[in-house]
Amino acid sequence: MKAIGRQSGYGDLHSSSNGANAGLVELVVLSTKKNAARCRPLASGDVVTLRAGRWGDLVPGEIAVVAIGKQWRYAGHPYMSGDIESVRLDVAALGLTPLRLDDCDTWDPSEHYWGEDDEPIPNWAMPIIARGPRSQFEMQQILPGGQPEDDIDPISDAVELAEAGDDDEARKILMGLCETDLRCLDAHAHLGNLVFDYWPELAIRHYQVGVSIGELSLGQKFDGLLPWGYIDNRPFLRCLQSFGLCLWRLGMFEQAEVIFQRMLWLNPSDNQGVRLLIGNVRSKTPWETYQESER
């Protein structure tokens, strides 16, 4: 998936560098804190704390090219300061183990509920039905520290904190999950949610990391379903939906339509309701206009 741009016009924001120049290092962003970012060198190595002027604009899962200013150790931990030259998204370069896909059963469109008998089948469903039966899968969900049997769920804790207005503590939990394992897709989704209302340009990058990690696991030729009913698929589907909403909000209508269409193919039951949004995207209805109409 093509990276979304941070520059005006939204070209390829994640500009690349091979890090070969003297004084440059490529760092995988693991998490950000109040005044620093936790990173690891792309070529492997110890986790390092980065102090840089633009640390707050970094997203876990992205690769930052840093011009080193100073390196030191404190209490045995490596630190680095410098200037961030560029940032890019290249999930394939991170060395992540793809999320496991469990083959569940076969979905048959002839047995799917498309509405009442006297209702016409919606146009968006026609090509999906024509494609015929397909395999259904459940994507592995990574949740560091989560223990369902003991009702321990750090994502739920973060959501409750955010709803109570404590975004800082919510972000701390979510960043900690990313630092432990970048494949925690729900952490990327909820980090995006924390800034969606006032900083969509940053939110979309959180969502895109989650989408890209999921797509890495699916591969380019995936043609199966990821139904919402299999709960471990929900983090990826949440990332996809929010990514599409951000594309729409930022005026990238064609790209948003592609994402929403893909969601319908992955989950024809459409529990997230994207079938109700495609018409607005296709007609290039501004996000603000749609929001006003829904109030």
Q: Domain check: are 106 and 197 in the same one?
A: yes
Tell which of 60, 94, 128 closes a domain: 94
Q: Indicate the length of the chain as a whole number.
A: 295
Q: Domain check: are 85 and 107 in the same one?
A: no
Asked if residue 244 lies in contact with residue 208, where contact means CB atoms within 8 angstroms, the answer is no
Would you place residue 45 in the very low, low, confident or very high pLDDT band (cuts 50, 70, 90)? confident
Domain membership flag for residue 12: no
Would you place residue 147 in the very low, low, confident or very high pLDDT band (cuts 50, 70, 90)? low
Predicted structure pTM score: 0.90
Domain membership flag for residue 164: yes
Q: Domain check: are 55 and 179 in the same one?
A: no
Q: Domain check: are 63 and 107 in the same one?
A: no
Domain membership flag for residue 268: yes
Rounded to a whole number, what is the largest CA-CA distance in the chain? 72
pLDDT on residue 56: 67
Q: Which domain holds residue 179?
A: 101-293
Q: What are 266's two structure tokens?
A: 């992955």
Looking at the predicted structure, is the pLDDT value of residue 8 above 60? Answer: no
Looking at the predicted structure, is the pLDDT value of residue 182 above 80? Answer: yes
Q: What are 24's two structure tokens?
A: 């440059």
Domain membership flag for residue 206: yes
Looking at the predicted structure, is the pLDDT value of residue 155 above 90? Answer: yes
Tell which of 94, 121, 146 closes a domain: 94
Closest among 48, 6, 43, 3 to 26, alpha carbons compared: 43
- Number of domain units in the chain: 2
Q: Domain check: are 86 and 209 in the same one?
A: no
Task: Lowest mean pLDDT of 64-73, 114-123, 275-284, name the range.
Answer: 114-123
Phi, psi (rounded to 5 degrees) for 135: -75, 145
Cα–Cα distance measured from residue 295 to residue 278, given in angstroms and rounded to the nearest whole number: 19
Q: C-alpha distances in angstroms, 223 versus 94, 109, 129, 257? A: 25, 14, 13, 18
Would you place residue 248 in the very low, low, confident or very high pLDDT band (cuts 50, 70, 90)? very high
Domain membership flag for residue 194: yes
What DSSP string describes 80-113? EEEEEEEEE--GGGGTPPPPPEEEEEEE-GGGS-
Q: Which residues contact 96 (CB under 8 A, 6 or more apart)?
A: 182, 183, 213, 216
Q: Domain check: are 77 and 113 in the same one?
A: no
Cα–Cα distance measured from residue 63 to residue 54, given in angstroms and rounded to the nearest whole number: 13
CATH of the domain at 72: 2.40.50
Would you place residue 12 in the very low, low, confident or very high pLDDT band (cuts 50, 70, 90)? very low
Q: Domain check: are 258 and 274 in the same one?
A: yes
Closest among 172, 146, 147 to 161, alpha carbons compared: 172
Q: Domain check: are 107 and 86 in the same one?
A: no
pLDDT on residue 162: 97
Closest among 288, 31, 58 to 178, alpha carbons compared: 31
Asked if residue 195 lies in contact with residue 203, where contact means CB atoms within 8 angstroms, the answer is yes
Q: Domain check: are 220 and 262 in the same one?
A: yes
Which of 70-74, 76-80, 246-250 reaches the highest mean pLDDT?
246-250
Would you place residue 149 in the very low, low, confident or very high pLDDT band (cuts 50, 70, 90)? low
CATH of the domain at 252: 1.25.40.10
Cα–Cα distance measured from residue 52 to residue 253, given in angstroms and rounded to the nearest whole number: 35
What integer is the mean pLDDT of 116-128? 90
Q: Which residues pair with 103 in a beta bridge?
A: 137
Looking at the predicted structure, is the pLDDT value of residue 19 above 50? Answer: no
Q: C-alpha distances in angstroms, 215 versus 92, 161, 202, 253? A: 10, 29, 20, 21
Q: What are 16's two structure tokens?
A: 């690349």
Tell which of 68, 94, 120 closes a domain: 94
Q: Domain check: are 148 and 270 in the same one?
A: yes
Share of the chain above pLDDT 90, in %: 78
Q: C-alpha distances in angstroms, 28 versus 40, 255, 275? A: 5, 27, 36
Instruction: Tell the burial category of 104 from Cβ atoms under 10 Å away from its Cβ (0-12, 13-18, 19+).
Output: middle
Share of the chain above pLDDT 70, in %: 89
Question: Which residue reads 């940032």 in tokens?
Answer: 87
Cα–Cα distance measured from residue 36 to residue 82, given in angstroms and rounded to the nearest whole number: 11
Looking at the predicted structure, is the pLDDT value of residue 106 above 90? Answer: yes
Mean pLDDT, the chain, as a whole number?
89
Looking at the predicted structure, is the pLDDT value of residue 7 above 70? Answer: no
Q: Which residues contact 110 (CB under 8 A, 6 or more apart)?
A: 129
Q: Domain check: are 90 and 198 in the same one?
A: no
Domain membership flag for residue 60: yes
Q: Domain check: are 255 and 163 in the same one?
A: yes
